[in-house]
Amino acid sequence: MINQNKKSISIAAIQMSCVSDKATNVAHAENKIRQAAQAGSNVVCLQELFHGLYPCQTEEHVRFEEAEPIPGPISESMGKLAGELGIVLVISMFERRAHGLYHNTAVVYDVDGSTCGLYRKMHIPDDPLYYEKFYFTPGDLGFRSFDTRYGRIGVCVCWDQWFPEAARLTALTGAEILVYPTAIGWHPSEKEEFGESQYAAWQTMMRSHSIANGVYVVAPNRVGAEGEIEFWGGSFVTDPYGNILTKASHSEEEILHVDCDLSLINTARTHWPFLRDRRIDAYGGLCKRFLDASTNG
């Protein structure tokens, strides 16, 4: 039987390596985006901070010079490119909002090149080689999704992916596709012992977002060595049941292409009615940092 309600779109996740020169990275990304559009992709997603080397391995004030305002040269060129190619485009960049105020920001463009909206990364890590709190102010726009020609798209960024609350709240805004631009990799001293389990944990977490919320998840990651980090690539796309539809290698630049039937979201959510059965009257504790066991009886 033909599914008359089928709504199929093609999504591309671009996994690329970066160099120190911004113009080179932007040109490289543009070439990849053109390749994805030529192959028939309707929605194209770039990795986190695609226009430069990942800046947060050290705390250096000079790295703030890599940031740009929005609108600015990169954001305007990417909007024009989306309009030229007739695609929905998701990018992530280092935003200079004001002197002393910087964000890790995603921008979503529609097929006419217009800006659908911004998402500023909410969860900011501070770990060895990931000193993001030095550079980025936590987002102040909340969890958001945006109507586009090819579906409603929500964006979270990298460290956001470990928080089920972020995925849930973004899904509750109507998102059909959650995009997670990512820059995650192995620390040299940990890869041999923990590398496989670290990657598996990342993939499992993202699959769980698909399952719990009945959405597609797109996770484009960086690849290649930068400083002390070996970015592990492994970009992938999952369906609303958490199935991995396509996955990239851990070592090569790739453009993942996958056809997604958005009508599957309703099927998944009516067969696994997690949104229906949520006890929204009982979740007040989620607004607390921790629940004292003495008052949790």
For residues 20-37, average pLDDT: 98
Residue 56 appears among annotated catalytic residues:
no
Residue among 149, 164, 280, 270 at smallest CA distance from 214: 270
H-only helix segments in 39-163: 73-85
For residue 239, give the CATH number of its domain.
3.60.110.10
Q: Which residue has the tokens 């070996």?
A: 230
243 contact partners, CB below 8 Å, separation of at least 6: none
- 83 in a structural domain: yes
Let me know: does 125 contact 163? Beta carbons within 8 Å.
Answer: no
Domain count of the fold of the chain: 1
Q: Above pLDDT 70, what percent of the chain?
A: 97
Least confident of 92-101, 124-133, 187-196, 245-254: 187-196
Sheet architecture: strand order including 177-179: 145-148, 151-155, 177-179, 216-219, 236-238, 244-247
Question: Which candidate in 66, 158, 226, 260 is catalytic?
Answer: 158
Question: What phi and psi, each to the nearest 5 degrees, are found at residue 127?
Answer: -130, 165
For residues 52-62, average pLDDT: 97
- The predicted pLDDT at position 69 comes to 98
Residue 260 appears among annotated catalytic residues:
no
Mean residue pLDDT across the chain: 95
CA distance 237 to 106: 18
- 3 in a structural domain: no
Q: What is the domain range of residue 191?
A: 8-295
- The predicted pLDDT at position 1 comes to 46
Residue 60 appears among annotated catalytic residues:
no
- 1 in a structural domain: no
Task: Classify residue 276 as exposed, middle or buried by CB count within 10 Å of its CB (0-12, 13-18, 19+).
Answer: exposed
pLDDT per residue as tens digits for the range 171-208: 999 999 999 999 999 988 888 899 899 999 999 999 99
- 88 in a structural domain: yes
Question: Which candidate in 18, 116, 121, 230 is catalytic?
Answer: 121
Let me know: does 187 contact 129? Beta carbons within 8 Å.
Answer: yes
Helix (H) / strand (E) containing 105: strand 101-109
CA distance 51 to 53: 7
Q: How far is CA 168 from the centre of its chain?
A: 15
Least confident of 23-37, 114-128, 157-171, 184-198: 184-198
Question: Which candidate in 48, 132, 226, 254 is catalytic?
Answer: 48
